[in-house]
Amino acid sequence: MTQPLDQIKEKVEHHLAFIYDQVEDVNDYSAISERLLAAIGLSAENPPIIPESYRNLWDESDIMMITYGDSVIRENEKPLESLRYFLEKYCVNTINKVHILPFYPYSSDDGFSVIDYSTVNQSLGDWSDINALADEYGLMFDLVINHCSARSQWFQNFINGSGTGSDYFFTAKLDDDLSKVVRPRTSPLLKETKTAGGLEHVWCTFSHDQVDFDFRNPEVLIAFVKIIRDYLDQGATIFRLDAVAFLWKVVGSTCINLPETHETIRLLRTLIENVAPDAIIITETNIPNRENLTYFGNANEAHAIYNFSLPPLLVNTLVTGDCRYLKGWLMSMPPAQNGTTYFNFIASHDGIGLRPAEGLLTDNEIASLVQAMQNFGGRVSWRTSDMGQQKPYEINITLFDALQGTIKGPDKYQIDRFICAHAIMLGLEGIPGIYIHSLLATSNDYEKVENTGQNRSINRHRWDLEKLEKQLDDPTSQHHKVLTRLSQLIRVRKAQPAFHPNATQFTLQLGDSLFGYWRQSADRQQSIFCISNVADEAQTITLSDINLIGTDCWLDLITGEQINVADVVLNLAPYQTVWISNREE
C-alpha cells in the first residue's frame, strides 16, 4: 500500500526540525524535505510505500559472509568474479548474504577512505560484477557516512573554495574546547589545511586522510541520500552505516552519540523504508554496550546493531575456560523487539574491539586477554582516554590464531575451540556474520603487516584462489577441516525455527565451565538447549538441570545422536557443543 506524499514530507520535516534546531540559517525545512524526497526517488508518480511496523526482515536461514572484494584472487580474472566463484563452489546452502567491504576507489584504511562513492574500484571489477552478486545474494553495502578521503574531489573543492564539496567538511579553531571529544585514535584531531580562503583546521576523527563531513550543512545530507538511492539501484539490500556514532559534532561536547546523530538515522530510516521496505539498516557503532543498544531507538532507527561485546567476551571465555562474564552479559541483554535484531559476529576485517568490553570485563581481565593475544602473535592498537591515558582499543589477530590455546599457552584444541566459538555464536539470538578468514581458518599475515605498517593487516590476508583450492581439497589441512565443520554447523542451524533471530532465548545456569542458553521457536513447537564446554577438560551435564521433558524425544542436532532422558549425565569433551532439540529438521 502507498500513502500520500504530503504525509511522508511532513514526517521528514519533523526530523529536520529536530536535527537543525541549533543550526543558524537552516530553517526552510519544507524545501529541504522536497529535495530529500526527490533524491530518494519519491514523487506523486512514485508515492511512498507504507512500511509494516515491527516486521522481521530476516529468519533462521540468513547467514552473512564478511569479505573484501579481493579476499580471493585468481590470475587474469576480476576479483569480484573470483569471489562469486568461491561463493558458488564452497558456500552452497550456507551463505545467502554477503557484506562486501568498501569496494569503491579509496586512498587508505583498506577502503574506508572513499575517493568516489559512485564507482567500483576498477582493480576489483565494475557495477556489473556487483549486480551479478546481487542477483544471487543479499548484499550489504558500506555507507561510509562520517568521512571521506582527503584525495576526493569533494575535498579538493574544499581546498579550492568552489564546487560541490567546498562546504562539506567540519572545521574547528585551535582554541576551541575539544577536551571532551571521544575518539578511537591517538593521532591529532585537527588537520591543518591550506585553502583558497586561508588556513583551516579540518576535523579528522580517524586519520588525516579521512576528513569528516559537516552535517550541519543540509547539502551533505542530500548528497548521501542520493548515494543511498544509487546503491539501492545497484542491488544493495542492507546498509551498514560506518562509524555513524561520530556523525554530528558540537564543539565542547563528546561529539559521539549526540541526539542529532540518532535523529539523522531516524530520518534515513524514514526515507529508505518508504521506498524500499525490505531494505535493512545496520549501525556500526564500536562503543560500550549500553550506548550501542540505544541505536535501536524505538524500533525506528537501526533494524540491527552489531553485537560488539560478543567477540572480546567470547574469546576471553575460551582462553580462560570461565564463562561468568559472557553469561552475565547475555543475561543483561534485552530481547530485540520484532522489527529489530542483533548482528552477531566474532571476527571481522577489524580486530577484537575492547571498548565494548569496558564495564563488562575488569581492567585486569582485559590486560590478561591482551597479554594472551600478544603471546599468540597478535598486535594491539591504542587510543587516548579522556584522562589522557593510553588504553588498548583493539586486538589485531585472526580469530583462528586467537584461539590456538588458553592463557596457559598453545595446546592441541585449536580447531575444536574455534568451532566451539562459532557454535555458540550461530545459536544466539540475532543474524550471524562470519568473516571469510574464519571460514578459511586463515592464520596471522605478518608479511602484510610489515608491508603496510598497519596492525589490522594481520587479519586481511589475500588468498591466491588456486593455492586456496589446493588447501581446501586437502583433508589434512586446517582450512579443509574448519570449512567442512563450519559448513555442517551452518546447514543445521539454518533448518531450525528455534534459531530464528527473534526466537525466545534464556540463559542457563550450568557453572563456570559450561556455557548454555535455551531457544524456543515462535510457535513453541521446537526447543533447543545450546550447551558448550568452554574448558580444556571434559565436563558433565546433569540432565535434570536442564529439565528435558520426558515425553519428548531429544537428540543432539550436531551429531544426530539421541539423548536418553533416563541417563543421569551427559559427558562433553573439551570445547564440545551440543544442540539438544526435541525436533529433528
Could you confirm whether 110 is annotated as catalytic? Answer: no
d(CA 81, CA 87): 10
Closest among 182, 173, 159, 168 to 221, alpha carbons compared = 168
Write out the E strands in 111-250.
138-144, 147-149, 190-195, 198-203, 210-212, 236-242
549 class by beta-carbon count within 10 Å (0-12 exposed, 13-18 middle, 19+ buried): exposed
Which candidate in 62, 70, 109, 242 is catalytic? 242
Sheet holding 554-556, edge to edge: 504-507, 514-520, 527-533, 577-581, 554-556, 562-563
Helix 414-427 vs helix 310-320: crossing angle, to nearest 10: 140
C-alpha cell at 584: 529433528
Cα separations in angstroms, 45 against 11, 39, 42, 354, 426: 19, 14, 8, 49, 44
CA distance 545 to 510: 8
Widest pairwise Cα distance in the chain: 82
Virtual torsion, Cα 335, 341, 347, 353, nearest 10 deg: -70
* C-beta neighbour count of 80 within 10 angstroms: 23
Q: Strand pairing partners for 341?
A: 304
Provide the residue count of the chain. Answer: 585
Cell of 166: 567546498
Residues paired with residue 572 on neighbouring β-strands, in sequence order: 539
Which residues, in sequence order, are CB contacts of 139 under 8 Å at separation 6+?
A: 97, 98, 99, 100, 130, 133, 235, 236, 237, 238
Element holding 556 (H helix, E strand): strand 554-556
Structural contact between residues 486 and 479, judged by C-beta atoms closer than 8 angstroms: no
C-beta atoms surrounding 474 within 10 Å: 12
Sign of CA pseudo-dihedral 185, 111, 209, 239: negative
- d(CA 222, CA 370) in angstroms, rounded, equals 43
For 409, the 3-state DSSP assignment is strand
Is 316 in a helix, a strand, or coil? helix
Active site residues: 242
